[in-house]
Chain A
Amino acid sequence: MIKHDVVIVGSGLAGMRAALEVCEGLDVAILSKVYPSRSHSGAAQGGIAASLGNSEPDSWEEHLYDTVKGGDFLNDQDAAEEYVKAAPRVIYELEHFGCVFSRTPDGKIAQRSFGGHSKPRACFSADRTGHAILHALHEQLLKRSKSIKIYSEWYMHSLVLDGDRCNGIVVSDIRTGAVEVMQARAVIFATGGYGRVFNITSNAFASTADGVMAAYRAGIPIEDAEFVQYHPSGLYRQGILFSEAARGEGGYLLNGEGERFMEKYAPSRMELAPRDIVARAEQSEMDAGRGVDEKDIIHLDLRHLGEARIMERLPQIRQLGIDFIGVDCVKDPLPIQPTAHYSMGGIPTDKFGQVIFDAEGTHVRGFFAAGECSCVSVHGANRLGTNSLLEAVVFGERAGRGALEYVKTVGHAPVNESHEKTKVLEQFEGIFQRDGKESYNDIRKEMKTIMTEKCSVFRDEEQLKVCIDTIKKLQERYKNGKITDKGKLFNTEIYEILELGNMLGMAEIIANGALNRKESRGGHYRTDYPKRDDENFLKHSLTYKTDKGMEIKYKPVVITKHQPAERTY
């Protein structure tokens, strides 16, 4: 059995920031199924929000209001307030770590405009901000390599929970297939999102709900799973991201008739309305037959920005366009469509990153979560661009500090190693021994297709029921799948199968949550219930696993400064 004081699962921004916070004087391990610098935080492009006021006067109060309004008033405002207040400090800290930021002429961190933010608040490093921060944190991790052990290419299978206390995790080494129990005084999940359940997504192959589903299987609910953000500018058919910064820098969105259609949907903010509104506007145009070439294509037009500005501020986007579709945005518009991008929902935590079981805030002792896998909830029903990198850093730090304080009070609890290990070994054997007929690839494809078709920007009861029904059938077929690689050495196939199992569970939770929420709010839009319904649904959903299937309970929204108001832009 492997033993550490604190084990962190996931090594993106949240995980690495947590590791830096908790490593003083403790034996800390950080686990990644890829390598830390390959985490999906690195794909974030446009920026990280903080009211530094480096180009225009700004305040945390304005950042808070924008965030709450952007989240359609489902945000827990106490947590959101502490979060926006912490923003400037954590950005300065990243800069002190050595993070490379673009600069203003007088040498301060440069800031640009972003959707839903009333001030230029996005601190950025050209159009690779996530990459810059990820590598800055990775550098700090290497600097502290004596106190933080990195487990690269290890997979987390399950949580070891004893009543309300978390005592470790079960993991395996992807390169050897060896299963191990990791005993820990505290566990922090920073496992990211689950965009891979959709066909069109900006997410990496690694974003497969592993952490969220491990928590769910252990009896912890999933909060607000129905809220998935569709980013307005995914590359047509591929879904990979063209940063909102392209619009922040002044890019236009055009329909097939060459119109800047956002005028109809958000006249005051135009292309810089929040993502849920822009994605719906695009989908509405395409559904009305006004897509480019009558396909599901919208044009992102940057030509008027000029080559110099594009090369200075958006060089990566230009290169992506050239490499992936042979379109140079200096000369031609980029073909885009909405793409599943971010999960507002996740493992419920309090504002200190500690995981909770229920609406009363009962703690799971020794278990923390931060970043996209968690739901604090600072984003409510729709996250503003640049707020996710901020969330990862602020709550990564908080979860790290929470774990640090917690382990002062407890030692290692006993873990039944053989019992925990056997469960995972049996799962492996089950997949190896199955002499099934089904192709896991077909199952994965059908899941992704049905989720993008029936549980996407626009939803309704009928479609969601079809979606859930299909997912349930796929879950049955999954039990009858066929594996080709039966070896132990670097068997990426079996890990993809495990990930598919997680995604099939997650897809059902999302669709079920969407069916249950009979209103439209933020990223969740029901054509059969097109209005926000504060009377019945101004509350967080909590989906529990029970013997009889899923059960949804509710948690009140914390409202402090801003009463829900009509949301127009």
Chain B
Amino acid sequence: MITFKIKRYNPEKQAEPYFEEFQLDVQDDLTLLDCMNEIKWTLDGSLTYRMSCRSAICGSCAVKANGHAILACQRQVRHLVKDDDTIVLEPLGNMKPIKDLAVDFKPFWEKIDKVKPYLQPKQKAPEKERIQSPEQFKFIDDSSTCIMCGACYSDCDVLEVDDNFLGPAALAKAQRFVQDSRDEKTLERVKELSKPGGIWDCTHCAECVERCPKPARPFDRIKEIMTVALEQGVTNNNGARHALSFAKSVKSSGRLNENIIPVESVGFFNFKGLFDLLPVGLRMFFKGKNPPILHKSIDEVEDVKRIYRELNE
């Protein structure tokens, strides 16, 4: 017997959400969605969630199970139960619940819209197909597997504190066009994506890679856009400057120069930005947390330099 502890919410009846428990005798090979359906169809018809294809391709049935977003149709229940034979189900995070496990995807789709999610091709179309090599296809193969289920968006740590962040799904969608050999707006795209709310606001926690039910792996795609942005010389922004300064510091000394990185990140002539750093710096100073004024290299700095050389920087 498995206990499903489900977060219920119906503002028509009660303003606050609450947990309700359902018990099911579960056969071995049932998916979580099978169980949710069993609960809805035999125990409580008012339980509300989305579902459609039940083969992990439509992206409808993402929910939080035991605190993490998953596709309900894709996972067998026996892999999800905790030691006490319970599973906790909640709606996806970072979006407003509408009823029970269904959330409002509006902000999700608005952010997809913001990355101009369509091909902006080179020249006029030829008579037949545009030529694209298997190697060029490979660049967009993974991102094109995204099913827009919102699992990454739900569990993204940045979105939790910053509504303005485009989020992993929209950025993965953006990579799909940034690296499509048929698209000609690469530079415009990476410029746009380098603005606040874009690629450089990702904190590299890689939670989205853990949550992605497909090979789309948004953080990997975000890193690819970052690479293209630097290659295209789109470096006049805090994020790119931070990345470059970071790499430079490690290369020259084997460790981070925490005095220089913030300054290089905001830019030497960005007086307002530098001024904004002051209070933090002062507080650190008075608490004795400031890094040493004289930055020292690590002993094995030559090894680090060799790594850089071998990786061709």
Contact = CB atoms under 8 A, between A and B. Distances in A.
Nearest to A493: B45
Interface in B268-309: none
Interface in A272-327: 315-316, 319-320, 323-326
A492 interface: yes
A323 B98 contact: no
Contacts of A449: none
A35 B11 CA distance: 23
B56 interface: yes
Nearest to A207: B52
Interface stretch (B138-146, B191-199, B238-246): B138-146
Interface in A73-112: 91-92, 95-98, 100-109
B58 A38 contact: yes
A516 B299 CA distance: 88
Contact of B182 (A38, A98, A131, A202): A98
A34 B144 contact: no
Q: Chain B interface secondary structure, helix, strand, loop or mixed?
A: loop
Interface stretch (B112-120, B220-228, B254-262): B112-120
Interface string A437-480: 00111001000000000000000000000000000000000000
A37 interface: yes
Contacts of B134: 102-105, 107
Nearest to A40: B53
Interface stretch (B18-26, B81-89, B122-130, B229-237): B122-130
Contacts of A40: 52-53, 58
A493 B40 contact: yes
Nearest to A97: B119
B189 interface: no
Contacts of A175: 98
B44 to A, nearest CB: 6
Interface in A29-43: 34-35, 37-40, 42-43
A320 B55 CA distance: 7
Interface residues of B, number: 61
B12 interface: yes
B67 interface: no
Nearest to B34: A238
Contacts of B119: 97-98, 139
A333 B261 CA distance: 55
Interface in B1-30: 10-13, 29
B90 interface: no
B187 interface: no
B127 A132 contact: no
Contacts of A240: 54-55
A484 B10 CA distance: 14
Given A323-B75, A441-B41, A98 B127 contact: no
B58 A42 contact: yes
B53 A42 contact: yes
A42 B148 CA distance: 12
B102 interface: yes
Interface string B147-169: 11000000000000000000000
Interface string B38-63: 00111011101111111111111000
Contacts of A105: 133-134
Nearest to B104: A175
A558 interface: no
A142 B54 contact: no
Centre residue among A43, A107, A440 by max chain B CB count within 10 A: A107
Contacts of B183: 98
Contacts of A491: 46, 48
Interface string A141-165: 0110100000000000000000000
A493 B43 CA distance: 12
Interface string A257-278: 0000000000000000000000
Given A128-B145, A139-B119, A204 B41 contact: no
A95 B45 contact: no
B31 A324 contact: yes
A103 B57 CA distance: 22
B87 to A, nearest CB: 17
B121 interface: yes
A484 B131 contact: no
B252 interface: no
Nearest to A441: B41
Centre residue among B11, B29, B45, B60 by max chain A CB count within 10 A: B45
A326 B117 CA distance: 35
Contact of A206 (B52, B55, B74): B52
B113 A145 contact: yes
B57 A132 contact: no
Centre residue among B53, B132, B177 by max chain A CB count within 10 A: B53
Given A100-B176, A131-B147, A485-B48, 13 more contacts: A38-B53, A40-B58, A96-B130, A98-B177, A100-B140, A103-B136, A131-B145, A132-B144, A143-B118, A240-B54, A441-B41, A487-B10, A489-B11
26 contacts: A38-B60, A38-B148, A92-B125, A95-B129, A98-B119, A98-B182, A98-B183, A101-B137, A103-B136, A103-B137, A107-B131, A108-B128, A108-B129, A109-B129, A125-B144, A139-B117, A139-B119, A142-B113, A143-B118, A175-B98, A238-B54, A241-B55, A320-B56, A324-B55, A483-B45, A490-B102
Interface of A: 34-35, 37-40, 42-43, 91-92, 95-98, 100-109, 125-126, 128, 131-132, 135, 139-140, 142-143, 145, 175, 202, 204-206, 238, 240-241, 315-316, 319-320, 323-326, 439-441, 444, 483-485, 487-493
Interface of B: 10-13, 29, 31, 40-42, 44-46, 48-60, 74-76, 98-99, 102, 105, 112-113, 117-119, 121, 125, 127-134, 136-137, 140-141, 144-145, 147-148, 176-177, 180, 182-183, 215
